[in-house]
Structure 1
Amino acid sequence: MAGADRSGVLVTGLVRVALAAVVSEEPPVHALAEVLFCQAAVPSLGLALAFDEDQLFWFDFPGSRWTPRLPDLPSWPPTLEPPAELLRDATLCQDLRRALTALVTGVVPESKGIPVADVFPMRPVTLGEPNTLVCMVGNIFPPAVEISWQLDGDPVTQGVTHTHYTPTADLAFVRFSYLPVTPAAGDIYACVVTREGDNTSVITYWVPQNPVPSEVLETALCGAAMALGILLALLGIAMILVARRSTHG
């Protein structure tokens, strides 16, 4: 698959394989995708291998090596797609991008996705205890956004890490950003996503809320159940008295 627009982005799917189990009536379909993109913006090149939109490896073009998304993944086989071959593909991608951009500029409308950000903690929140906030940014196209963090309106940069762009089935990209935090009452965190070129920003806020301890919750539920039982008992007595008065009357 390939696509280009006036923004000068060329996305090429090098490999897309459907894997299906043959034992079920409606077999699940899985996608293994290796996607190369090139553009005039930064980053100018990107290459990722994803399984069901979960990134497994990304290619470090300056270092000419495959890098696993998670440290537990095995190393990339050195004989499979050597760096020299991928660099030739990258050069071809840039040449095609420039040629297609010259052809479609002013003819084909520019394609841009509005990023959608979601912020959530990596672990259950307890005020005063270290945690990590995750900002998941989807619907990215072209793959050129800046992700930053704020705490109470002030920029936060210490400990911030970002993933590389991961291709999705709808020909867009997703990217993650991580911020180590120690949440406190009243904190207001913000994930700011800015598109390059037009400086359009999408901001998603997150406010820590300390969950109710289980012992307090159990006590409250027991108290509510007891109060409800007493109320029902009083209601039953009142109904009996009303029925007796009606009978004697």
Structure 2
Amino acid sequence: MGAAGGSGVLLFGVLWVALAGAVTDEPPAHTLAEVLFCQPARPSLGSTFTFDADQLFWFDFPRSRWTPRLPDFPPWPPALETPPQLLRDATFCQSLRRTLTEAVTDITPEAKGIPVADVFPVRPPALGEPNTLVCMVGNIFPPAVEISWQLDGVPVTQGVTHTHYTPTADLAFVRFSYLPVTPAAGDVYTCVITREGDNSSVIAYWVPQNPVPSEVLETALCGAAVVLGILLALLGIAMVLTARRSTHG
């Protein structure tokens, strides 16, 4: 599959393998997918292996090796798809992309997605306690965006890490960026997403809130419950007195 544009062509191939459930009449329970893409922008090549849209491995083309998404994953099975095999596929993809670029440039419209970003902490935030902010960027197409962080308008690079592009079911990509933080009152964290060749950016903000301590919240709730109980008791006494007066009358 591919998308053509005025500046070049993005090509990506998708290999889907459905794993059925115990009963054959049921729809597939899980899906494995391997996606290889090539494009004029950076990165020029990318390949990922996903399970139910969760990335398991990605191929590090500069080092010519499969890399697990998480360090505790088992290594890539050597016999499943060797680096030379994938490099041959990548070379064919680039050759085909150059041929299609020459054929369709300025003829077919360029497909682009507007990235959508969301920033959230890994753990429930607390002022003065270390945490990690996650910037989740979806609807990426083509997979060529830069993600950067700012604190109160000042760029932050210390400890920033990014994930590889992960394909989604709607033929787009998602990417994550992580920033270690120790939030303080008044901080404004910004995740900035820019696309190659564009003058516009997508920005998402996160401002730490000062949550009410749990002890204070429990005390307030207990006090409110006591007051409510007293009011209900007084209301009940008043209704009893009113009923007795009505009976005597």
User: Structure 2-normalised TM-score?
Assistant: 0.92
Q: Aligned to 2:88, what secondary structure does the other structure show?
A: helix
Counterpart Cα distance in 2 of 1:34 and 1:199: 32
Residue 3 (structure 1) aligns with: 2
Return closer, same or farther for 1:80/1:25 CA change in 2, 3 Å cut-off: closer
Change (3 A) 1:195 1:238: same
Which residue number in structure 2 is paired with residue 157 of structure 1? 157
How far apart are 1:235 and its partner, in Å? 2.2
Q: Is the 8 A contact 1:4 1:97 kept in 2?
A: no
Q: Which 5+ residue runs of structure 1 have no aligned equivalent?
A: none
CA positional deviation for 1:18: 0.8
| Matched-pair contact (CA < 8 Å) for 2:2–2:9 | no
Report the more deviating stretch, 65-74 or 211-220: 211-220
Corresponding residue for residue 88 of structure 1:
88
* Mapping of residues 63-74 of structure 1, within 5 Å: 63-74=63-74
Which residue in the other structure is 1:220 paired with?
A: 220
**Displacement of 1:182:** 0.3
Whether the 8 Å contact between 1:8 and 1:40 is mirrored in structure 2 is yes
Contact 1:19–1:29 (CA<8 Å) still a contact in 2? yes
- One-letter identity of the residue aligned with 1:70: L
CA shift digits 1:120-179 (9 cap, x unpaired): 111121211111101111110000001011111111111100001011111100100000
Deviation of residue 23 (structure 1)? 4.2
Tell me how far apart the structure 1 counterparts of residues 226 and 23 of structure 2 sit (CA, whole Å): 53
- 1:75-100: CA deviations, max 9, x gaps? 11233322222111111111111222
Question: Which residue of 2 is the match for residue 236 of structure 1?
Answer: 236
Q: Which residue of 1 aligns with 2:112?
A: 112
Structure 1 residue 25, shift from structure 2 partner: 7.5
Question: How far is the alpha carbon of 1:34 from its aligned partner?
Answer: 0.7
| 1:117-156 aligned within 5 A | 117-156=117-156
Secondary structure of the residue that 1:203 maps to in structure 2?
A: strand
Deviation at 1:245, TM superposition (A): 4.9
Cα offset for 1:24? 9.1
TM-superposition CA deviations, 1:17-51 (whole Å, max 9, x none): 01121249855532111101111001110011111
Change (3 A) 1:227 1:109: same
The one-letter code matched in structure 2 to 1:101 is T
Residue 32 of structure 1 corresponds to 32
Q: 1:153 to 1:24 in 2, by over 3 A?
A: farther
Distance 1:61 1:24 in 2: 38
TM-superposed deviation, 1:237: 2.9
Q: Tell me which amino acid in the other structure corresponds to 1:11.
A: F
Q: Give the total of aligned pairs.
A: 247
Return closer, same or farther for 1:25/1:211 CA change in 2, 3 Å cut-off.
Answer: farther
Root-mean-square deviation (CA, aligned residues, Å) is 1.8
Deviation sequence 1:30-75 (CA, Å, 0-9, x none) = 2111101111001110011111111111111111111111111111
- Write the deviation string for residues 166-216 of structure 1: whole angstroms up to 9, x where unpaired: 111111001000000001111111111111111321111111123333222
The equivalences for 1:159-174 within 5 A come to 159-174=159-174
Gaps of at least 5 residues in structure 2 are none
Aligned to 2:13: 12
The percent of aligned pairs where both chains have the same amino acid is: 79
Equivalent residue, structure 1, for 2:211? 211
Structure 1 stretch displaced more, 39-48 or 119-128:
119-128
The offset of 1:242, in angstroms, is: 4.0
Amino acid at match of 1:216: V
Cα distance in 2 for residues equivalent to 1:29 and 1:96: 34
Q: CA deviation at 1:241?
A: 4.0
Q: Is residue 4–residue 100 contact of structure 1 (8 Å, CA) maintained in 2?
A: no
